[in-house]
Structure 1
């Protein structure tokens, strides 16, 4: 499947390509669909690209993604450009049914009609694949589409992105991509009990439901999740999957591999410009202590010296481009500790990109370390050097060993 994806994504996706494609809606649509990472959700394992079938798992049940190829019976073959725009802009399907917000129309509503038409033109150019859609496994009453009416009223603000005249063209382009096509807030935000992402403040970080990774706060200002980062750091991470502050892991690794590494340098710079403008956050509360946290960290220092320092260095600064730093690493400092625990238990796998084709991976330690040892070393890492994050208990590790998601 990776070979097929590379063929579909190759060619146009090089720096400066977007401008060159301005007169070719299919090529432009291919680029925009890549920026939106449409292929990730709409391609099942070993399936045809964009033919749907991948189950998007939510706390309320599973929703299989639809077929986006132009097959008339099971895909978009009977759809018009108006139908597609309505789906993206209003969250309404071809038969006017309300779409579940696992499809991020709450972000895609910001797209212009020109851009949705281009994406539709690209999808219509794909080879048709017959792939009947399976039923959702949403639990009652969440499967009732009638409930979407009040949900939309409470949590959906329909409307295309309106440029801010007080901001630069680059900032507005970045806002359009981050808030709209890139739908970054779908992961980088906590969700309320109704499954809607919290947008105030925007991009403030949160656990990705079911996948159980923490997507960090994206503010680069004081107390933000990316405090201390530069715009160049952001561009480097999105382009190659690594930066001087760490590497992309978990769901973000897939985003980089399938989407952002192909985004033009101009658009990446615009996204970084927008993220650099996010406001500072309130000071983080002092982490709550747990019983024997000091002893736990002391034991963790011994584990770190034996198992981790060889790659990540005694001072936590990592070693060159191969082994990322742990000091000031956003994945280490997330409020929950879940990212670090999962990396220790299951290993860390950075994406292979054109800019980093053979990334180093971290081996799993789930069979080598006990729950107490994992809790100890993670606590040490989160509190050593300049890190000041909450301790992790052995009970946390036991819980994270059994969580689903990858």
Structure 2
């Protein structure tokens, strides 16, 4: 009886995978034409492609530590295992040397490799499908101009069956629809440019989008916040004023933050510091203004703080730790120092319901990116080797209740959970 049930379940899964593959093939056939746009001036196209590679921060994933730029090999941790980014240089044997512009377009637009294999959604083709063909061609031309580097692909380390073609086909059937970005007629050209960049090549929802059990986001236009479990950081919601909404920021402040990684009251830390360093600081002024316009217009939805039992004794321990280790820079009243150390009173990173980022900063320090607009950022030392898990929780709890702050206490268990689920 059990054998029949197992065989029946496998047959149903195979049937679903086959149906998904057939449906996906129909979607691919109905996708926009893969006819390349007129190439235009070669030098202009290369310059444009280099700029678009910055917009997408392609080197961020496709460059291993100490490796050649764009030669791949960096591991991208996911809940299902590690995906290793491939070589994007024009090496004929291990890179894109034998690829055509049509094949590159298909990878971006449909998530298929040169040989037709389905690609892992760790490569965010659910965002890149929105990229227009002329931009894809310019990006491909730039990648083809890079020095060729022989760097064989590292096999992915994914738990079975998540890396199988059948599993990917099922995922795509439920979670992916190809389609180039279409301007919203209700909005002006600047807003649409910002939406095109943010939803497409900049793939903001890849981090800031919430994910279901299959690892899929609701769509490239949703930025509801998500725990980057394998990194130990939380990508806050861009729709929530209590988290990272910028609807109340001025356009000038948001442009400064995207350009330099800081403005009064906020600094880019953790994964976002990498984004500013490798991508947004290099954006043209018009595109920064467009992204600022779009991000400031996102619909707002405020979360409700959880109700938890307070622990006054823990906060008292934290108050002593703050006086000993933190007050010298951030001030006795948590007001910080203008241009150097951020205020902690009213700081959204301190107050977010999810305390992961606050704990991560306490543990590993805080280091904003060194950018042209902020070439020598002030940093904060790490305290993981100095404070116990209970002391880290105590310090975080104090910060979340001092100087008018109101947020739930942090427990030692929160610290331990963060340590157990992250990848360093």
User: TM-score scaled by structure 2?
Assistant: 0.86
Q: Among residues 223, 235, 238, which one is paired with 1:218 in the alignment? A: 238
Distance in 2, matches of 1:224 and 1:58, equals 23
Residues matched between the structures, number: 383
1:3-402 equivalence runs, <5 A: 24-199=44-219, 202-219=222-239, 222-223=241-242, 225-226=244-245, 228-282=248-302, 284-290=303-309, 292-402=310-420
309-318 or 353-362, which deviates more: 309-318
- Distance in 1 (CA, whole Å) between partners of 2:243 and 2:364 is 27
Distance 2:238 2:42 in 1: 31
Report if the CA contact (8 A) 2:245-2:296 is conserved.
no
Alpha carbons 1:84, 1:120 under 8 Å: kept: yes
Separation (CA, whole Å) in 2 of partners of 1:204 and 1:44: 29
**C-alpha root-mean-square deviation of aligned residues, in Å?**
1.9
Q: How far does the alpha carbon of each residue in 1:167-213 deviate from its partner, in whole angstroms, 9 at most, with x for none?
A: 11111111011111110000012221111123498111111131120
**1:314 Cα deviation (Å)?**
2.5
Q: Which runs of 5+ in 2 are unaligned?
A: 1-40
Deviation of 1:386 (Å): 4.3
* Alpha-carbon separation, structure 2, partners of 1:277 and 1:207: 24
Alignment partners' CA distance in 2, 1:276 and 1:240: 18
* Bigger radius of gyration: 2
Q: Which runs of 5 or more residues in structure 1 are unaligned?
A: 1-20
Is contact 1:85–1:113 with CA below 8 Å preserved after alignment?
yes
Which residue in 2 is equivalent to 1:11? none
1:37 positional shift: 0.2
In 2: Cα distance, 1:382 partner to 1:233 partner:
25
Q: Distance in 2 between matches of 1:372 and 1:238?
A: 35
- Looking at structure 1, the residues matched to 417 and 242 of structure 2 have their Cα atoms a distance apart, in angstroms, of 28
Tell me the distance in 1 between the aligned counterparts of 2:421 and 2:328: 29
Runs of 4+ in 1 over 3 A off after TM superposition: 198-201, 221-224
Question: So what's the TM-score if we normalise by structure 1?
Answer: 0.90
Give the drift of 1:260: 0.9
Q: Secondary structure at the match of 2:82?
A: strand
Could you tell me which residue of structure 2 aligns to residue 13 of structure 1?
A: none
Question: How many Å apart are 1:224 and its aligned residue?
Answer: 5.4
Query: How much does 1:404 deviate?
Result: 2.8
Question: CA, structure 1 residues 84+200, in 2 after alignment: closer, same or farther (shift >3 Å)?
Answer: closer
Q: Give the SS at the match of 2:393.
A: helix
| CA displacement at 1:286 relative to structure 2 | 3.4
Q: Residue 148 of structure 2 aligns to a residue in which SS? A: coil
Quote the Cα distance in structure 2 between the aligned partners of 1:53 and 1:348.
27
SS in 2 for 1:343: helix
Check conservation: 1:343, 1:364, Cα contact below 8 A: yes
DSSP 3-state at the match of 1:385: helix
Q: Secondary structure at the match of 2:361?
A: helix
